[in-house]
Amino acid sequence: MTPTATPPQGDTMRTRTTTATVLLLAALTGCSSSEQPKTQEEIAALCAPALKARPEGDTSKPKECEGLTADNYDLLVISTIADGLGISGGTTN
């Protein structure tokens, strides 16, 4: 039976330190990416107030609206304009 070689103590500590650093960076990356809205609904919830807060005549796309599909952005812009004119989406009798 041959004895198993054990690495010197310094190599084990370096491996543990490297592993801990990699895990910490992975966790931090995961945390920062989870702060970003992921669904169209989440992005729209941030975009709508930004559209309403734009100065009159400003047609630039707010940064809060980045990530919305073109169709969803267009619908939000139209909805914001309709709200400003007092037009509601409900039915009238």
Lowest mean pLDDT among 26-35, 41-50, 75-84: 26-35
Q: What percent of the chain has pLDDT over 70?
A: 55
Q: What is the pTM of this model?
A: 0.55
| Torsion sign across C-alpha atoms 40, 48, 77, 53 | negative
**In this predicted model, which residue has the larger pLDDT, 49 or 30?**
49
Please, are residues 47 and 68 in contact by the beta-carbon 8 Å criterion? yes
d(CA 76, CA 78): 5
Band (pLDDT 50/70/90 cuts) for residue 51 is: very high
63 pLDDT more than 90: yes
